[in-house]
Structure 1
Amino acid sequence: MKQYNNFLNIEPQYSELDKSRAVIVPFGYEASTTYGSGTKKGPKAIILASSQVELFDEELEKEVYKETGICTIPELKYKTGTDFYLPLSEKTAEMLALKKFPVILGGEHTITFGGIMGAKEKYKNFSMLHFDAHADLRDTYEGNKFSHACVMRRVQELPEVKNLVQIGIRNISNEESEGGEFNFYKANQDKIKIFWADKKDEWDTKDILQNLLENVYLTFDVDVFDPSIMPSTGTPEPGGLYWNEVLRILKQVFLKKNVIAEDFVELSPLKNFPAPDFMVAKLIYKTIGYKFLLNKKK
């Protein structure tokens, strides 16, 4: 098989920018990981594993990439510091201006700030849908306001982000020195809705949808999955979600809402164990199919 070194290893006629509706944006930024590291290797691992994903989607009854085109751009370079996100925000804004669907591959969760900063150039009124084991609502962590543990706090401060819906949360802090994460959530329940993992059997997808505006930015931290199926992450938490539970929610979100961009973060690949990388690659392919083909299924 010829190697194209792009997402899904697809031939140029389906992966050139002008012929693609979805664009893979690799951004392996890593600066504030606190337990396990390796997220900078996430984009490369996802792209490598994607070459083994079956291109026919049995649910949609289509070879999705032939219907949509999927371009993979070179991995973005970055510098550490408070402006780390600029290459990503600029590229996200550029892709949205071209009417492309940005699919961002992290990297630690802090990269979401860059994706949002780019998205708000076009969209002035949208919801944040956040899959994660952790609330990421600290004001500061280890003296850093741009830690991966603070990214949702920074995002919800932006006026364009009208509300935050969090799925699968099962870890939240209340250290006053870090800004009282749990107290902050309790004081801002008009803007923040949490669907706790231990209550997942009681979740109603309609309730999730009712809390989202028409336009939605999706950020997906892979540690929302139970560590039994996703060990390749820096801060695993027991009691997580499983594949079909996640797809059930995502399918309805893509069907009922306009997902403007998405990112997948916090994959820390394990040597000689590519199964979690493959799972993330397949999930990404599923979301691209959901984005463009759900309404077209006969």
Structure 2
Amino acid sequence: MKHQIIENFDPNGVSAHQGIFGLPFDEETAELIIIPVPWEVTVSYTAGTAGGPKAILEASPQVDLFQSDIKDAWKMGIHMLPIPENIAEKSSDYRVLASNYINWLENGSQEIDRERFVAVPDLINKVCSEMNDWVYEQAKKYREKGKLVALVGGDHSTPLGLMKAISEGHNSFGILQIDAHADLRIAFENFKYSHASIAFNALKIPQISKLVQVGIRDYCESESIMAKENNRIVTFYDSDIKEDMYEGKAWKIICDDIVEELPNEVYITIDIDGFDPKLCPNTGTPVSGGFELEQILFLIKQVVKSGKKIIGFDLVEVAPGSAGDEWDGNVGARLLYRMSNLYGASQGKLNLK
């Protein structure tokens, strides 16, 4: 069946298929399944990232399928599951509750409103835990079918369930985190599963032997101390990277240094705000500085060429702009397609030159 689908599809033409990148594959014929998670309950600055999966899906047909260094990359097959409306609705409902609670905190936690807000963290933690469980079950289901699995958020809290599902198939692996933020806060704003706590929560998974952070440039003192004192964490701060480059150190050498810190099996989590904000102006917490798209794709390619295996990845915090503005979705879609192909190449599904 997949052979017939490939024979009948023209990768150079206009596709009438509604799937991600206009590809003709479904969950049975695709090698890679992408889980969309339209969730942003704990976002602490600007909302919108729950619309990320839809924005990427809508922009994705504009991505050309040809990859000069991966022959017939599209033939691996990529399929994004339907965007779950129940998850989006729950996110919208509880986002209001969380936002009101955050405003109360920011206004000094007035005693007069304490009774109104005291139970909010438990409610939010419960619903976020349910979201994590749903992601875990989806990931487990498709991994048991032999599929590669990736995730598109939503905020950065969304991939924890995928990380847990992947951990069940590996004795030890590392995480490569591309991000402007360290995300090492403990229950930020009293939310256990905050988007600002994903790295801290991931380190609770015993199989994760190393967390290598790249591009960090907005973090608090407690996160700096944790990164320094925890021997599982190695952080390549954006300012240090830039200073090395200004002094003449090549990006290839810096990438070699990063890759050397990674164990043999690697999960990659990409927060779009790790890039220069010109590439993601509508993300929830943009920070000046960051990377060009090709810099990070070069880094990921070096991971693959080193022989280390990518065992999963996520792309989070892509947020659509105003009506008619597809820029963030367009960048996100291009990043997602290339990451999918590098993941496939790392797993032996595709050949990388």
TM-score normalised by the chain length of structure 2: 0.77
Residue 157 (1) aligns with residue 204 (2): yes
Distance 2:182 2:302 in 1: 23
Match of 1:137 in 2: 184
Deviating more after overlay: 76-85 vs 48-57: 76-85
8 A contact 2:135–2:159 mirrored in 1: no
Report the Cα offset of residue 124 of structure 1: 2.6
Tell me which of 275, 278, 284 is aligned to 2:330.
278
* 1:101-128 deviation digits (Å, cap 9, x = unpaired): 1121100000121111111121231101
Distance 1:89 1:124 in 2: 18
* 1:83-141 deviation digits (Å, cap 9, x = unpaired): 22111111112222222111211000001211111111212311011000000001121
Distance 2:330 2:161 in 1: 25
Match of 2:3 in 1: none
Structure with a larger share of its residues in helix:
2
Letter in 1 for 2:319: S
RMSD: 1.7
Within a 5 Å distance, the mapping from 1:238-249 to structure 2 comes to: 238-249=288-299
Distance 1:150 1:217 in 2: 17
8 A contact 2:182–2:218 mirrored in 1: yes
Distance 2:223 2:80 in 1: 37
* 1:252-280 deviation digits (Å, cap 9, x = unpaired): 11232211111100111102221221111
Distance 2:320 2:341 in 1: 25
Residue 230 (1) aligns with residue 280 (2): yes
Residue 121 (1) aligns with residue 168 (2): yes
8 A contact 1:47–1:281 mirrored in 2: yes
Tell me which of 27, 30, 45 is aligned to 1:35.
45
Letter in 1 for 2:203: Q
Distance 1:59 1:282 in 2: 15
* SS of equivalent residue, structure 1 residue 51: helix
Distance 2:328 2:129 in 1: 31
Letter in 1 for 2:254: D
Identity %: 31
* 1:142-189 deviation digits (Å, cap 9, x = unpaired): 111211111100111211111100011001112xxxxx222211211x
Deviating more after overlay: 161-170 vs 19-28: 19-28
Distance 1:214 1:297 in 2: 18
* 1:200-224 deviation digits (Å, cap 9, x = unpaired): 2246222211211111111100000
Distance 2:299 2:226 in 1: 26
Q: Which runs of 5+ in 1 are unaligned?
A: 175-179
Q: Which runs of 5+ in 2 are unaligned?
A: 1-13, 91-126
Distance 2:185 2:235 in 1: 15
Tell me which of 202, 218, 231 is aligned to 2:268.
218
Distance 1:161 1:286 in 2: 25
Letter in 1 for 2:313: E
Question: How many residue pairs were aligned?
Answer: 287
